[in-house]
Each structure stands twice: as structure tokens, then as C-alpha cells.
Structure 1
Amino acid sequence: MKPLVKIVPPLRIIGVLLLALTGCRKELCYTHDEHSYSVKTHVKADWEQEWERTYYVDWEEVWREEWPREYDEFRPDPGTGIRALVYTDGKMSESNLEQEGGRLHMSEGTHTLLFYNNNTEYIVFDEVASSATATATTRTRTRSNFTTLHEGERTITPPDMLYGAFVREYTAEKTLEAVSLPVEMRPLTYSYLIRYRFASGQQYVAQARGALAGMAEKVYLQDGHTDGTSATLLFDCKVDEIGCTALLQSFGVPDYSYTDGYTTDQTNKSYVLSLEVQLKNGKKLDYTFDVSRMVQAQPRGGVIQVTDIVVSDEDGQEGGSGGFDVDVDGWGDQIDIPLPLG
């Protein structure tokens, strides 16, 4: 019988076998995108949760302690996700990212980047083919028997909370490691706390709604500025034991730039606030207020308060103790919701 011969494989064969069993080394796995030379830009989003900007009044500094809600309670929530628009050589592509950001897919080269939150309901985006013309507006809202406050203005529903960010020039390069791109998502809509206070007759009020005329109809996503187009915002109010209150979101005032402030003469610019109340006996009363000075001093959110509103006993007790019908005809608003064709 011949003796057994132990065969030792060459070291090169052992190395190949080990590589096959353990997987490829990072620098050799060029077929795997995460290990290859490719564009690996990862957006890291930070959300600036401001509900108003200081212009004339610093509300955060002078907030009144006796008010029932704290200043920080009005801070908006971050968006639940991000829409990313990538502009390259006159062409645009879009993708969606998580709230915290994520990998932004694009080719090697120089791009312009535009971001906004993708969880809005009433916002309408327009002219997004170019970052310079991309705007956000909101839907038309009509109210039966509504008395026009500003002739020719479109009446609209208040916009959702909108954030945006813009990167004018970003050069994407192929790398082995991920490249972080910090992005600050800044508010493009702001809130006005509107307070109606009664001198007498508050006890007769069952329901209320308001309107604010002269506000910006749209905002430019690139830098948050507004042009001269104005609109009237229609909104509902909460009735309590001391008056009526609304937290109204808007694009701010027309003709305003973050870098330059007002871009036109505001001397003759007017803003009108209205209040319509439905009394418990079913009667409707309307009030209007010139709030031009208050709004001009607060171009991006703030507090608007009107006082000394009176509901007379004669109005409040008219018709006896008839009940209030919440479904009374003409009280509900109508919102124009575009439907897809085809």
C-alpha cells in the first residue's frame, strides 16, 4: 500500500478562497455603489421652528405673562419629509427625503438645489421648472355673502406650514466616503395671533370667523421674498369667555425681502381685519378694523389685537331664546380644490 500524500494548496489559492468567503475589500468592491467612486451627498436637515420674526416688536422678549398661552407653544412642528429639487444645465429632477434628510441622488457636476417640506395640504407650487421663479401660493376660498375688504383681491385659505432652503451652487464630486450637506429649513409661512376682545355682549356670541385683507398671495421659494400681489385670507375663530381668537398662518406682507425689508413705499398700503359673529339667536353681525399700522410693524408674523367690540342687548336678545343652528345656510366656506384631469 502506498503511503498517503498530504497535498498543501498554494498560498495564492488559499487567499482567493478566503476572499470569496469573507467578502470583498471596500476598495475593491467597485460594483457596489456604497463602496465605489460615486456622488454620495447626504443632506443633514435642521428645522428652524420660528412662528414670527422680529421687525418692530420683539414678542419673544416682551411676551405677556398674563396671556393664557406661552410664546413657545406657537412654534410650528418640523415637516415630516423633504422635497428636493436639483437643477442642472436647465433641467430639473426631484426626489423625496426623510425629515432628517438622507442621500440626495444626483450626477457629478455643479447643481442648484431647492428644498421644501412635502407634507402640505393646501399649498400650490408653481413655476418650479426654475429655482428663480418657483413660488408657493394657496387655494381659493369663497364665503357666501362676504363683503369684499379690498377690491379685486382673491380670497384664499391660509397656507400650511411651509419651510424652505436654497443652495445656489453645489459641486457634487465622486468620492468613496459620504459627504455631508447641512441644510437649514427656514419658515416661509408665519403666524399671526389674532385676538378680538369685547367691551360688552360677549355672552351672546356662538360662533365667529374673520378675514385679513392685503396680505401676500404667494412667496418665492428661493429666498422667501414676496411680490406686490395681495390676497384676503379667510379663517375661523375660536370663541371663549373673553373674546375670539385665531392663529392665522400666512406668507406675510407683500413687497418684502428678508435682506432689504420693504421693497416699495408703504405709506398708502392698507390692511383690513374683519370679524363676523353668529349670535346664539342666529343673528349675524359684521365688524371691520383698520390694522395697517399693526401689520406694517409685523411683516412676518406677530400679534394683532382689536378691542372694545360691542354686541348690544338689543341684538343679542332679538327673537327671544331661539337656539343657534350650527348648520345655518351660508355660514360654511368653500375651498377650491383642483382635480386632476385624466
Structure 2
Amino acid sequence: MKHYIIMILGLLLMFIFQGCRKELCYNHDEHSMTVKLYASAEWEQEWERTYGYDWKELWTADYRYEYDDLRPKVANGIRVIAYGDDGYYSESNLPPEGGRLPIREGRHSVMLYNNDTEYIVFNNTAESSMTTATTRSVSRATLKELHKDERTMNQPDQLYGCYIDECIGEKTLEKIEMPVTMHPLTYTYLIRYEFAHGLKYVALARGALAGMAEKVYLNDGHTDGNAATILFDCELTDFGADACMQSFGVPNYPGDHYTRADGNPAYYTLNLEVRLMNGKILTYDFDVTEQVNAQPRGGVITVDGIEVSDEDGMEGAGAFNPDVDGWGDFIDIPLPIN
């Protein structure tokens, strides 16, 4: 009986050492025949695309920012969704440099986007061709409707994306690296409001840009005809006010002629709202269609000649209250998510 026990123990030890030859093998999966496809991520840190203006060449010292100051940062992590031919669906999170993709043996498509956004809402993630990103609605009591039937929304924070239409999961003993590039899906507009008179009366400023894309499709970065008005705050400067506003770009991009959902040409209205030192609120609207159409994905928008009259600025000067705390914040209104 002792001989049989010794023989069985010997066979067991032989099997153990042959099954995994690496010492202290705590992760047997990495040393066996499995799918080991790893994403190696690079980040395209662009805040605008060159179309009608080449801002790298046209940048001037008058701007408060250097061109490279507006480049987005690398995200803190990556969300990965894998779709298999047999209905397989899997999600995982990776570090910024990438990592192992959650796919099995066979054919898959893979969607990647940064997982550190705060304001973006993702819809229809179960179907890669229909996955979109948008933001929640916000309201501003003092803002009159700039475009009929457009919802007003918060500007999105930085969004990157990459879509791999086809990759094959094959069982191997060694890791297989697949380079992926995370492209920006949101772009920045530097908006400049230049005053000709009366800036000294202004205490606070904020703005809105109507006609911009309401959402973006993650599989290829296109936008549909749905438009929205984006609200943002401004900073006062020695020339007036400016803001770095992020958006998904223009509706129905790409295309030579950007149109709205109703088929009419896209148009864009820029709003400025200022609160004076005496508490009075003034609003200004500008048609910036030509500028935005020439810059469908980020750029610089400038309006000038803005005036605050001395009459408005000095109104109630005998007893004005410089406290502007009552300006009011945005009110978040949750959107229904299908």
C-alpha cells in the first residue's frame, strides 16, 4: 500500500510541475493557451482641427493662452466594450497606457473611450453603431430662446474615443499587442468678446452658443442633425471677456454643408449676458454662422464692438449695490435615458 501511495504522490507532483513550469505561478491563465490581445494606447491631444483657419500659424500674442495650453490632457483611464458575433458583450476598465482586452476566441468589434468624464451621458452602449455621448440639460432663467426648440445643455468635458471594427481573438501562449489611438471627440472653441466701450461697468459675464451638435457617435465620431445650445461662463479680461468652451462640433459632420435635423442649413448664434456693477443685466446676440462653419471642430470665435452705454452703467449710481452673488447658478435637469 505504501508503494501505491508513493507512486500516486509522485505522479501528482509530476503533473503539477509539468502543468506550470514557472515557479510561484499565481496566474495560470497567463501561462496557458488563452486569448491575450492587449491594447497599447496613444492619445491624440488636439483641441481643434484645421479647416478654414490654420490656428497654429495664425496664433497671436494677444491671446491669453498659448496654443498648446488648450491641448487636452491624457485621460485617467479607458473604458472598453467588446462585442462578439454570437452576441457576446463585455466591459472592463484599463489604465491610460492600455491593457488586456475583454475578448474571447473569435471575431469581435471593440469600442474604447475615456472613463473619467463627469458630465457626459452615454446612450445605447449595447449596440456599437448606435452608441452616443451627450450631456444633461441645464437652464438659465435669464436666457431667452436663441433657436426654436433647441434644448440648452452643459458643455461636455473632454471625451476621447477609438473604435476597432474587427479584431480576432486567437489563443496563444504569448501576449499580442495591438496599437490603438484615442482620438478627441470633443473640441474647444476659444470665444472672445471684445468691448469698445463700458467694460468698466461689467461685474460678471457668461455666454451661450446655439446651433451646435447635441451628441456624437462613438463608432466613427460623426454627428447627426440634432442641435443644442451650449451654456458656459466667461472670464473678464482687459479687452472684454473670453471663454474656452467645449463641444461635439457642428451638426451633421462630416459634410461639405452642415445641416440641421429639419434639412435646413445649420446656423449659429452667440450670446453674451453681462451683469453690471449696479445689478443691471444686458444681453447681446451675434450671428457667427460664417465663423463656425469654417471651424466645424474647434477654433477661435471673435465678436467685437460691444458697448455698455454710460447711461446703463451709471443707472442707480447714487446707491448701487456691488454685490452680485444673486447672479444664480445653472439648474441641472436630468434627462430621461432610454
Distance 1:139 1:282 in 2: 29
Percent of matched pairs sharing the same residue: 55
| Residue deviations 1:190-215 (CA, integer Å, cap 9, x gap) | 00000000001011111000010000
Closer, same or farther: CA 223–325 of 1 in aligned 2, 3 Å = same
Matches for 1:1-342 after TM superposition, within 5 Å: 24-26=20-22, 32-89=28-85, 90-257=87-254, 260-262=255-257, 264=259, 268-320=265-317, 322-328=320-326, 331-337=328-334
Gaps of 5+ in 2: 1-9
Q: Partner of 1:256: helix, strand, or coil?
A: coil
With structure 1 as the length reference, what TM-score do the two structures score? 0.88
Counterpart of 1:334, as a letter, is: I
Q: Partner of 1:132: helix, strand, or coil?
A: helix
Larger CA deviation: 99-108 vs 135-144 = 99-108
Distance 1:137 1:223 in 2: 15
Q: How many aligned positions are there?
A: 320
With structure 2 as the length reference, what TM-score do the two structures score? 0.89
Aligned partners of 1:203 and 1:241 also within 8 Å: no
Closer, same or farther: CA 170–30 of 1 in aligned 2, 3 Å = farther
Aligned partners of 1:56 and 1:298 also within 8 Å: yes
Aligned partners of 1:91 and 1:129 also within 8 Å: no
Distance 1:81 1:169 in 2: 22
Gaps of 5+ in 1: 1-12
Q: CA deviation at 1:91?
A: 3.7
Distance 2:271 2:100 in 1: 47
Distance 1:74 1:293 in 2: 23
| Residue deviations 1:67-102 (CA, integer Å, cap 9, x gap) | 232100000011111000000123421111111111
| Residue deviations 1:245-290 (CA, integer Å, cap 9, x gap) | 1000000000112xx5546599843100000000011110000000
Distance 1:264 1:230 in 2: 10
Q: CA deviation at 1:240?
A: 2.0
Q: CA deviation at 1:104?
A: 1.6
Q: CA RMSD in A?
A: 2.5
Larger CA deviation: 67-76 vs 294-303 = 67-76
Counterpart of 1:287, as a letter, is: Y
